[in-house]
Amino acid sequence: MKRGFVRLGLLILVVGCNRAPSKDRGTTELEDIDIGAAPDAELSTELDEQGRQVAIEVSGVLPTDVPLDVPIHSPSSLVDFGEVDEQRRYLAVDTSAGVGTVRGQLVSELGDQGWALASEAGSKLEFSKAGRLLVVVVEDLKPGTRLRYEYKPR
């Protein structure tokens, strides 16, 4: 019985392999159709505020509670952030620029946002705005500078 199955298998194999391809199969020519421009081809993201690309000048993810009117020095890299106490937070960034340059830009940029220099003691600068206090410590890293911003979260 086993031989019968083997012979039947060989017969099917021989018959199936000897069949020549059918020449009846004609090729069908496909017609080219012009479908025109895509319906959204004229759309643009130029006016989309969320679609605008901006230059990233601070590397690292800033905490979401940083006040919007506190400009963070750029270019810089976020190195640390956390709590000063129950009501205040801090944020530290490093930059390759020198202390003199950074300090001048800091006072100017904060002034542009309405912050006034209230006091200055060595590397510690205190700014005030509408009863709010912002403390910035400018530390010389030689080379570069570290800025530590102490603020009340928004």
Convert the pLDDT of each residue in 38-73 to its tens digit. Answer: 887 777 777 766 655 555 466 678 888 999 999 999
At 110-132, the pLDDT tens digits run 999 999 999 999 999 999 999 99
138 near 123, Cβ under 8 Å?
A: yes
> Does 117 reside within a domain?
yes
pLDDT recorded at residue 125: 96
Residue 107 is part of a domain; what is its CATH number?
A: 3.30.530.20
- Judged against a pLDDT cut of 70, whether residue 133 lies above it is answered with yes
What is this structure's pTM? 0.61
Q: Chain-wide mean pLDDT for the chain?
A: 84
> Does 20 reside within a domain?
no
Domain count, the chain: 1
> Does 9 reside within a domain?
no
Q: Count other Cβ atoms within 10 Å, centred on residue 33.
A: 6
> Does 52 reside within a domain?
no
Please, which pLDDT band fits residue 104 given cuts at 50, 70 and 90?
Answer: very high
15 versus 114: which is more confidently predicted?
A: 114
Sheet of strand 76-83: strand arrangement: 58-59, 76-83, 89-95, 145-151, 132-140, 124-129, 116-121
> Does 125 reside within a domain?
yes
Give the domain range for residue 116.
76-151
Is residue 77 within a helix (H) or strand (E), and if so which, with residue range? strand 76-83
> Does 12 reside within a domain?
no
> Does 54 reside within a domain?
no
